[in-house]
Structure 1
């Protein structure tokens, strides 16, 4: 019966199979239907039936979807639906090859790291939450200043102790204006600490003793114990919301902001690599894309000929 079925009948039989025998959710079946409608339309345009589709056809259609702006993830999902149909047709003995075999969606580009603008970063650092316990405010401001002012990872920040010792993973030397941290791969590095961060540190150390017990950690909670990364994430998110920022801020966003802003001002990629503790310059190069994105935004906003930037219309 299926041997003489039309393409539309084959697709319907397959959809009945995934709905009844595989018990896929109705939403999934609806998505499969749309994907297979696209497959049939492509095959008709190429002048072939579904059973005559070749690997080259599939690759051409993937390329067309990609050039048309379809995301890599979207293409992968469509290919999954097509692949399932052809696997089923093979099991029915209706085809002797799967044209979707070994066809993969284009690799998805890595998303740019999210960074704050300079004004937002300063607003977050200088925000004062007056109804908070002054000790909490001093601690949270110091955390913010160090994350943004030094580009520290959250693990490096949490590992800071009040003073250098044989067991300390990291510490700050206020006289030298340097933070000594233990980064990825147990690699130590030193980064400069700016005046704003040093001032915030002094304010926090002046009240830290109210909570201090035996824990050497620089950042502690009300019970005198070292803060966890999750506790810092919660406090930073809260601070960003109370400061009126449009997006919740997480610790790594401040590291990205640090790198982006230093690169915008200096143009020295190698120095940014050293400050961040990246083993490879290729890891740091993502910030050049952020830098260009910033320059493009400035151009669009300021240049009198920027409106409608793009290819000239014939």
Structure 2
């Protein structure tokens, strides 16, 4: 009966999240995963028994020692448990959430975004055909692996920094007539506009839409092999194959294209507030991660400056 209690309350909480927070399918899936982890651990006791500081501390130790989870994963698990406890308290299913009384400091190493190097971008660009069915033998080889819409996806992610989930949701009607701007629906269904600065890319988008010839503004912009909407999972698989084909390691991911777009804009002197808006970051602190200077750029800058020699040492 205890297991049923946990499952029932978790389902009600997820419905609440879906209806009141307007979370994306990806976020809902993450919440479900976090709650399933909690239920597997705690279903031998009641909800009221579990939600006390001692139980939470033991749960953290379990995640760290028995499950061997990374600090970032543990932090995400606890974030879900914290909001679940707040909801349970509001619904008067527990007397109070234990989290306000707890001192939880999980140090997560700050990882800098991993952008693609300029040479890697050049190699990818040289192997992306404008028309996968034509061109040189080298481009035809990639054309057999990556169709026209996947090539367009790569260009769009590099040019605008959009997330792969956002790319997948773009409809033909979200693209302006001149293809210089695209309406994007981001996390939490927040709407923003991204701009296409390249005339060549804008022409590619217009040509692509014309070739779709569907007349439906709700039709997907990027397609899979069956003519349906290209899923993030399918694109990730194609990029992994592309990485293997070009010998790029670590392999290319959609998020690396996003990191690359942001890093390139920052390095070219674009105001960080504009980059924040383009990427759809709710906090500028997230965007500031891209202000790092990679080792190669730093070494080149120092060698060019040659400060010690210039001051006479």
2:299, 2:207 → 1: CA distance? Answer: 37
Q: After superposition, where does 1:114-263 map in structure 2 within 5 Å?
A: 114-128=114-128, 129-131=139-141, 136-163=146-173, 171-175=174-178, 177-193=180-196, 194-205=198-209, 207-208=211-212, 216-263=219-266
Partner of residue 288 from structure 1, selected from 286, 291, 297: 291
CA distance in 1, matches of 2:175, 2:227: 19
CA-to-aligned-CA distance 1:11-40 (integer Å, 9 cap, x gap): xxxxxxxxxxxxxxxxxxxxxxxxxxxxxx
Please give the alpha-carbon distance, in whole angstroms, between the structure 2 residues aligned to 1:241 and 1:199: 30
> 1:198 & 1:267 partners in 2: Cα distance?
21
Q: Deviations over 1:67-108 (max 9, x none)?
A: xxxxx98xxxxxxxxxxxxxxxxxxxxxxxxxxxx9999824
The 1:103–1:215 alpha-carbon spacing in structure 2 relative to 1, beyond 3 Å, is closer
How far has the Cα of 1:235 moved from its partner? 1.2
Change (3 A) 1:126 1:201: farther
Pair 305,243 (structure 1): closer, same or farther in 2 beyond 3 Å: farther
The whole-number CA distance in structure 1 between the counterparts of 2:217 and 2:280 is 31
Bigger shift: 264-273 or 242-251?
242-251
Task: Please give the per-residue CA displacement for 1:113-168, whole angstroms capped at 9, x wherever unaligned.
Answer: 110123322432341331355794322210100011011011110001112xxxxx
Relative to structure 1, the CA distance from residue 272 to residue 104 in structure 2 (aligned partners, 3 Å threshold; closer, same or farther) is: closer
Q: Give the superposed CA RMSD.
A: 3.6
Distance 2:111 2:261 in 1: 18
Flag the structure with higher helix content: 2
Give the aligned partner of residue 4 of structure 2: none
Specify the SS of the correspondent of 1:285.
helix
Match of 1:41 in 2: none
- Whichever of the two has the greater Rg, that structure is 1
How many residues matched? 199
**Offset at residue 264 of structure 1 (A):** 0.4
Report if aligned partners of 1:135, 1:208 keep a CA contact under 8 Å in 2: no
Partner of 1:107: 107
Kept in 1: contact 2:160–2:261 (CA 8 A) = yes
TM-score (norm 1): 0.54
Q: How many angstroms does 1:274 deviate by? A: 1.0
Question: Shift in Å at residue 286 of structure 1?
Answer: 0.6
2:250 is paired with a residue of what secondary structure?
coil
8 A Cα contact 1:241 1:247, kept in partner: no
Residue 94 of structure 1 is matched in structure 2 by: none
C-alpha deviation, 1:269, in angstroms: 1.1
Distance 1:206 1:240 in 2: 30
Unmatched segments (≥5 aa) in structure 2: 1-69, 72-101, 129-138, 309-313
SS at 2:192's partner residue?
strand
Say whether the 8 Å CA contact 1:138–1:203 is kept in structure 2: no
- The structural deviation recorded for 1:270 is 1.1
Specify which of 285, 300, 306 is matched with residue 298 of structure 1: 300
